[in-house]
Structure 1
Amino acid sequence: MRNDLRIGVAGYGLRRSLALEAHRPGNGSRVVALCDPDPAARERARAEIGPDLQDTSDFGELLTDDVDAVMILTPDHTHVELAVAALKAGKTTLVEKPLAVTVEDCDLILRTARDHGTRLYVGHNMRHMPVVRTMRQLIMDGAIGEVKAVWCRHFVGHGGDYYFKDWHADRRNTTGLLLQKGAHDIDVIHWLAGARTTRVTGMGGLTVYGQVTDRSEGLPTDWFSPATNWPPLAQHGLNPVVDVEDLSMVHMRLENGVHASYEQCHYTPDYWRNYTVIGTAGRLENFGDHGEHAVVRVWNSGRRDYDPVGDLQVPVTAGTGGHGGADEGLISEFVRFAVEGGPTDTSPVAARDSIAAGVYATESLRDGSTPREVPPVSPDLAAYFAAGQI
C-alpha cells in the first residue's frame, strides 16, 4: 500500500531480523529496497521479503524518491559513511547500534542530522526489552528509592562463535568488544541511573581465544555448534585477526554521582545479562533476561541474611519476535517516529554517550587501567536533540 512507510535497508546479514520485522505490508511499513554487496545476501532477501524487492550493491540507489526511510544494518565501522549520506539525502535514518566506533564519528552523525533537519534514530533495542522496562518501571515507581549503584554482568556464552570468527574480532572494525557489545548495557545503565558516564577505568585482556591457533578466512560449516565448540579452547576457525579482548570490565562514575560497573566475558557456558540496581531504600536484580522463567526480584522491606526470593517478584513478560519482543517494539517506534516525529525511548545523544564511555574505557583498559574523563556532547547538539526531532 502507498500509505506504508517505504524502507530501504543497507545490509542483510547478522541483523536482517530487523529488516524482516520492518516488512509489514499493509500495516504501516514495507521494505522496498535492499543494498548489500553480497549477491547471496540479496538473493536471500528476495526469497524472504518477496520478488518485488529492489536490490542493489550501490547504497546511493537507496536514496531515491521511492524510499522514505533507511535502516543501516551493516558492520559497525561502515555506519558513519552510510548514515551521513542518508541524512544528507533527507531520509529518516535508523542506525543499528553502536552508532559508530569513535566519538568523533558519532558527533559527525549527530551534527549532520541537525544541520540537515533529518530525523535520526538509533537501534538500541534493549530499551524495549521487557526485562529492562520492568526494572526501569520499578525504579520510577520508587521501589528501591534513589538509585546509587548499578552493576551489570554480561555472560556472552556464544562469544567465540559470534564475535571471534568474523569482522568483530578486528579492532579496526569495532574499537573493541567492550564498546561493541557493551554499548547496549552501558546505555541501559545510563537509562536506569538517569545520567551519562563522566569518568571510567577499564581492565581486561585477550585471555582465552588468543591461545586458539586454528584460523580461517571464512566461517567453517559448523561455526556455531555448542556441542563441538566447547570448551572454549576447542574453538576453531577464528578470524585471522583477533586483537580484541574476550574479558573486559569497566568502573564508571556518572554525572549524577551514581557509581556503576560493567563486566563482559565471551567464554562462559551460559548467555544472559544480570543487572543489580541498588538504591537508598532497597535493591533489585533480574534473574534471566528473557524466557518463561525470567523475573525481577526486589528487596526493600528491611535488613536480613541471605534471601533468594525477596519482597517482590515481577515476572518478565516477553513479547513476540526477536530479543523477547524488543525488536518489534523498536521497529514500531521507529516507524511512528519516521512518520510523525516526536519523542522516543531511544536517544541519539544517549547512544553517543554509551559509545563515549566504551571508547574511553577501552583506552583505559589498553593503557594500564589509567582513568579517563569522558567528554559530553557539545551543548548545541544536546539542546537540539533534547528539543525533539519534529
Structure 2
Amino acid sequence: MTLRVGIVGVGARAEIGRWVNDAGVDARLVAAVDVRPEAAARARRLFGDDVAFVTSLDDLGALDVDAAIVTTPDDAHADAAEFLLRAGVAVYLEKPLAITVEDCDRILLAAYESGSRLYVGHNMRHMDVVRRLRDIVASGAIGEVRAVWCRHFVGNGGDYYFKDWHAERARVGSLLLQKGAHDIDVIHWIAGAYTEQVVGMGDLMVYDRVTSRRDNSDRLLRDWFSHDNWPPEAQIDLNPTVDVEDVSMVQMRLSNGVLASYQQCHFTPDYWRNYTIIGTRGRAENFGDTEGGVVRVWNRRHDYQERGDLEFPIAGDAAGHGEADQLTMAEFLGFVAHGGSTATSPVAARQAVATGITATQSLRQGSVPMTIAPLAPSLQHYFDNHQVPA
C-alpha cells in the first residue's frame, strides 16, 4: 500500500518534503498545509500541482493521510503533533521537539496513548561526521569517554535566526533549542547518557545593536540570505523583536559521569561545528563537518602534533545536511511502513530539549546550577519497548 503523506507548514524547512517520493519506500506526498493562503504558491513551486493545498489540519484529515511531516515554527509543534497523533497519523516532527518541557511530554503522551508512530527529525544522527566520531568511540580507539566539548560557530546566524520569528523568546525559547538541540543530542548519543545537571551562561551581545528592523513575514530565508551580509553590525532588516541570546555556553554533567560543554556564537565569520571527544586512552576531533573535512585521533603520548595519529575523511553532506535529510526521511517512512528501530529517538529528542531549556533558565537566572526534570517512567518504558534506537 502506498503511504499517503502530508506536510504541515510550508516554510524554509518544507523542502524536506521533496524527499518523500524518492525515499526508497512506497510513499507519495499528497498534501501541504499552511494557515497562510499565500503559501499555496510556494507549495506548488516545491511540490507541483498534484499536491493538494489546504489551510487547516481538519482539511488534511479529510484527505486520509497516513503520515505527516511537521515543519511549522517551533511554538506550533506541540499542538500540531498532538492533533495528528491522536488522529492516528504518524508524525515526522522537525526538531526541536517543542519549546517547553511540558509540551515535549504532551507530545510523547499523545504518541503513547494513541499508539501512533512519532519520529523526531534529528538529522545529524545521519551525518557522516557524527557517525564517524561515534564509530571511533565504539571501536575503543580512545578508551572510555570522559569529556565531550562542542564549539558551534554559527556564521550564518544573523541571516538564519535574527530576521524572523527565531529572534523572539516567545516563539523559540532560546537558540539553545533551535540550534543547540542538535548538538546536545549528539553529545548524549556519543557519550551514551543524558544530562542530569546544567549551568548556563549567555548574552545578547551584537544583534541588539543593529537598528535596521523589518517585519519579514512576507519573505523567506532565501530572499535575504547572502554571505555578503557582513560584518554582523552591518546587517539590515532584523526582526522587530530581538531578545534571544547570540552567545550561549552550557556546562553539563551526564548521568554516567561524563562532563560536557557546548558553546554557540551567532556572529562568527565561519559556519561549522567542532566536536572534541576525550577518552581515557586518547581523543578525537573533527576539522570541518561536511565533505572534505576530517576526523583526527590522538592516542599516543607526544607533544603537539597537528595531524594526530589517525585520520579519517568525512564523506557526504557536501552542501550542508541535505544527504542526512534524505536518510532521515527514508528512515521515517520505513518506520511508518514497517516499524522497528530508528537512529533517532523521541526520548532523546525530549532530553536534548529539556537540557537546552534548563540551561536557558540557568543562564537567565544568573548561571545557577539546575537539574533536568525527569521523564515519566511510563513514557520512558513505552518508548524503550516500541522505538529502541538502532
Q: Work out whether the TM-score is over 0.5.
A: yes
- Structure 1 match to 2:281: 281
Aligned length: 385
Aligned ranges 1:134-145 → 2 under 5 Å: 134-145=132-143
Secondary structure in 2 matching 1:153 = strand
Whole-Å separation in 2 of the counterparts to 1:321 and 1:99: 25
Deviation, 1:44, is: 2.2
Which range moved further: 25-34 or 70-79?
A: 25-34
| CA RMSD in angstroms, aligned pairs only | 1.7
Secondary structure in 1 matching 2:290 = coil
Q: Contact 2:97–2:353 (CA<8 Å) still a contact in 1?
A: yes
Whole-Å separation in 1 of the counterparts to 2:208 and 2:252: 27
Gaps spanning 5+ residues in structure 1: where? none
Aligned residue type for 2:225: F
Aligned residue type for 2:22: R
Deviation, 1:45, is: 1.7
Q: Contact 2:345–2:387 (CA<8 Å) still a contact in 1?
A: no
Question: CA distance change for structure 1 residues 303 and 278 in 2, over 3 Å: closer, same or farther?
Answer: same
- Structure 2 match to 1:212: 210
Deviation, 1:64, is: 3.5
Which range moved further: 216-225 or 184-193?
A: 216-225
Aligned ranges 1:129-278 → 2 under 5 Å: 129-218=127-216, 223-227=224-228, 229-278=229-278
- Structure 2 match to 1:296: 295
Aligned ranges 1:351-366 → 2 under 5 Å: 351-366=349-364
Deviation, 1:245, is: 0.2
Whole-Å separation in 2 of the counterparts to 1:226 and 1:327: 23
Deviation, 1:48, is: 2.8
Deviation, 1:37, is: 2.3
Q: Contact 2:294–2:314 (CA<8 Å) still a contact in 1?
A: yes
Deviation, 1:65, is: 5.6
Which range moved further: 273-282 or 317-326?
A: 317-326
Secondary structure in 2 matching 1:71 = strand
The TM-score normalised by the length of structure 2 is 0.95
Aligned residue type for 1:225: S
Aligned ranges 1:46-125 → 2 under 5 Å: 46-64=44-62, 66-125=64-123
Deviation, 1:4, is: 2.8
Question: CA distance change for structure 1 residues 346 and 165 in 2, over 3 Å: closer, same or farther?
Answer: same
| Stretches of 4+ aligned residues off by more than 3 angstroms | 219-222, 319-322
Secondary structure in 1 matching 2:321 = helix
Deviation, 1:375, is: 1.9
Question: CA distance change for structure 1 residues 322 and 35 in 2, over 3 Å: closer, same or farther?
Answer: farther
Whole-Å separation in 2 of the counterparts to 1:322 and 1:247: 22
Which range moved further: 54-63 or 167-176?
A: 54-63
Whole-Å separation in 2 of the counterparts to 1:259 and 1:354: 15
Whole-Å separation in 2 of the counterparts to 1:94 and 1:338: 10
- Structure 2 match to 1:10: 8
Whole-Å separation in 2 of the counterparts to 1:226 and 1:15: 20
Q: Contact 1:274–1:288 (CA<8 Å) still a contact in 2?
A: yes
Which range moved further: 155-164 or 44-53?
A: 44-53
Aligned residue type for 1:21: W
Question: CA distance change for structure 1 residues 64 and 389 in 2, over 3 Å: closer, same or farther?
Answer: farther
- Structure 2 match to 1:349: 347
Whole-Å separation in 2 of the counterparts to 1:235 and 1:74: 26
Which range moved further: 214-223 or 190-199?
A: 214-223
The TM-score normalised by the length of structure 1 is 0.95
- What are the superposed Cα offsets for residues 1-24 of structure 1, whole Å, 9 maximum, x if unpaired? xx3321110011111221111233
Which range moved further: 29-38 or 238-247?
A: 29-38
Whole-Å separation in 2 of the counterparts to 1:49 and 1:18: 10
Whole-Å separation in 2 of the counterparts to 1:26 and 1:204: 43
Whole-Å separation in 1 of the counterparts to 2:281 and 2:147: 12
Secondary structure in 2 matching 1:387 = helix
Deviation, 1:226, is: 2.0
Percent identical across equivalent pairs?
A: 56
